[in-house]
Structure 1
């Protein structure tokens, strides 16, 4: 049996540096080929879709769904030409860290630069790719744990909080008159929002410099608010359901062991009584 030849498109993509996603409106990159080259896709077969993500992808891909679909984007026509009239939104795809688009037809819409063509497959680069993190850089990445180093880049969303404190000075003169002087003092506190281009989902926890913080939402993405002095952000997937399931499994194991020991003890006692009477 001859080995299956790798996809030349997947090979081309695998030679590109960085952390990014690829999208294909014409389903030109099979999921098995993407997995073979460790490519992260924004499209493909996914029977379990979050409603917010499905709506976002419809806007980003320009492909409207008539109902439930197991694919992203959805289709009900010839695979290679199903979405030929769709106009992808480069900005929304870029926020999802989609850097490359591979298609069997010319793309409609702005923000896409054609980089190559292999056979009938066009390869485009999205000039609006915002990266995996807005306001930092990835130090390490895995499906369950992500470490980020914040930075002061322009794409950090900054919230300026101004707190006005008033100092009261009371001057009492010899005459029965009280003069109250107020001196306003302005205290400026700056916070930054770091946006991670990963889907928000219950069970994710975050720490900033070892201190637990809330995982906020920015649309479908995860966000944390940090101070200017923050040095490290860690996201970890710690769903409560897993811990509850593990606890119940452990409890079940203890019950089984208890019943086994109890049953064995009864059998031993029964055999001992028979031997004694004999």
Structure 2
């Protein structure tokens, strides 16, 4: 049985899907631990959740690109006696440009934030969930993990495919210990993501029906992990795209991916 007030840790909680998860969980009676780099935004969100939902909210700023960040975060939880019941691995971003046009330290930080840190957080927090017989883990992946890789943002789809496979194995290993694991796979979502990567103007060329709100993504994700869904693609349009990509020949989908990449991505290619 879940505790009366589950404690949820949300990474990348300062904006977008992470902030929407924090608001949704607080409204459902959860207490929260919020982490991201932007302290001011975290503090403002924490106060909002305390005022509106009487939630107990702890702010623990962290840069998950730092190899020591996850251990320090978990030590801070232990020092406060906080036992995490829900883990929302949401922190992420994109790196525009072709692979060789971007310095390796930038790629290295990306891999640490989107792949290494989520895995380490699960590894450190999962034993407590298994011991208590209750836990929920949502790894925020993407529709990009189900479709062919694109030109530019080279590691993005790869990192999301990794999260999907990681979640599947975790779900199989823990389904009989009261721990549900779900890879949440949204498509285009209204957030700051494309502003940060400098592709907002390009993204504005996409038709409106391709987009979802962060709140809709979160509601679907919450329902999916509670149902025990291991992988959940949000939105009917995105589910159709996933199904279509599985039916079409690889050669055609790769051609289509290359064509669309040049329409909607800032490739940042070296001259």
Comparing both structures, which one devotes a greater share of its residues to strand?
1
Shared fold, TM over 0.5: no
Q: Which entry has the higher C-alpha Rg, 1 or 2?
A: 1
**What TM-score, normalized to structure 2?**
0.28
Higher RCO, Cα 8 Å, sep 6+: 2
Comparing both structures, which one devotes a greater share of its residues to helix?
2
